[in-house]
Structure 1
Amino acid sequence: MNIEDKEQPFKRAALKITEVKEEVQRFIVGQEEIVEGVLWSILAGGHTLLEGLPGLGKTMLVRTLSDVMDLSFSRIQFTPDLMPTDITGTMVMKQSRDDQHPFIFHQGPLFHHLVLADEINRSTPKTQSALLEAMAENTVTVVGETMIVDKPFFVLATQNPIDLEGTYPLPEAQVDRFMCKILVSYPTKSELKQIIQRTTGTDDIVLEKKLNKAELLNIQGLVKEIMVTDEMIDFAIDLIDATHSNSERTTDRIKQYVEFGSGPRGLQHVILMAKARALTQGRYHVSMGDLKKVAPLVLRHRMILNFEGEAMSVGTDELILEMIDYVQKGDSR
Structure 2
Amino acid sequence: MQDSSSPEAAIARLRACYEALRANISKVVVGQDEAVRLLATAMVCGGHVLMVGVPGLAKTLMVKTLAKSLGWQFNRVQFTPDLMPSDITGTELLQTTPDGERRLVFHQGPIFANLVLADEINRTPPKTQAALLEAMQERMVTVSGQTYPLPAPFVVVATQNPIEQEGTYPLPEAQLDRFLLSVHLDYPSREQEIDIAAMPTRMKIPELPAVAGADDFLGFADIVDQVPVARPVLAYAVALVTATRPADDSADAFVRKYVHWGAGPRCSQFLITAARAVALLDGRPSPEVRDVQDVALAVMRHRIVPNYNALGEGLESKDIIAHLLKQVGQPAAV
Band of TM-score, shorter chain: over 0.9
Shift of 1:38: 1.3
How far apart, in 2, do the equivalents of 1:134 and 1:63 lie?
Answer: 21
How far apart, in 2, do the equivalents of 1:247 and 1:325 lie?
Answer: 18
Paired residues of 2:246 and 2:255 also in contact (CA < 8 A)? yes
How far apart, in 2, do the equivalents of 1:227 and 1:7 lie?
Answer: 15
Partner of 1:232: 233
Paired residues of 1:245 and 1:255 also in contact (CA < 8 A)? yes
Paired residues of 1:232 and 1:288 also in contact (CA < 8 A)? yes
Q: Which moved more, 1:164-173 or 1:77-86?
A: 164-173
Shift of 1:104: 0.8
Q: TM-score if structure 1 supplies the norm length? A: 0.93
Shift of 1:313: 1.8
How far apart, in 2, do the equivalents of 1:130 and 1:203 lie?
Answer: 32
Paired residues of 1:52 and 1:160 also in contact (CA < 8 A)? yes
Paired residues of 2:76 and 2:116 also in contact (CA < 8 A)? yes
SS of corresponding position for 2:329: helix
How far apart, in 1, do the equivalents of 2:42 and 2:7 lie?
Answer: 24
How far apart, in 2, do the equivalents of 1:204 and 1:137 lie?
Answer: 32
Shift of 1:164: 3.1
Matching of residue 218 in structure 1 with residue 230 in structure 2: no
- Matched ranges for 1:190-269 at <5 A: 190-199=191-200, 205-269=206-270
Partner of 1:324: 325
Shift of 1:161: 1.0
Shift of 1:248: 3.0
Partner of 1:132: 133
Shift of 1:267: 0.7
Paired residues of 1:10 and 1:282 also in contact (CA < 8 A)? no
Paired residues of 2:236 and 2:330 also in contact (CA < 8 A)? no
Q: Which moved more, 1:301-310 or 1:77-86?
A: 301-310
* AA aligned opposite 1:282: G
Shift of 1:91: 0.3
Across the aligned residues of Structure 1 and Structure 2, the Cα RMSD in angstroms comes to 2.0
Partner of 1:271: 272
Shift of 1:196: 2.6
Shift of 1:253: 1.8
Q: Deviations over 1:260-297 (max 9, x none)?
A: 10111111111111111122222221112210011111
Paired residues of 1:162 and 1:169 also in contact (CA < 8 A)? no
Paired residues of 1:7 and 1:284 also in contact (CA < 8 A)? no
Bigger relative contact order, structure 1 or 2 (CA pairs below 8 A, ≥6 apart):
1
Gaps of 5+ in 2: none
Shift of 1:9: 2.8
Shift of 1:44: 1.6
Q: How many corresponding residue pairs? A: 329
Shift of 1:172: 1.3
Q: Which moved more, 1:239-248 or 1:27-36?
A: 239-248
How far apart, in 2, do the equivalents of 1:279 and 1:19 lie?
Answer: 16
Partner of 2:168: 167
Shift of 1:111: 0.1
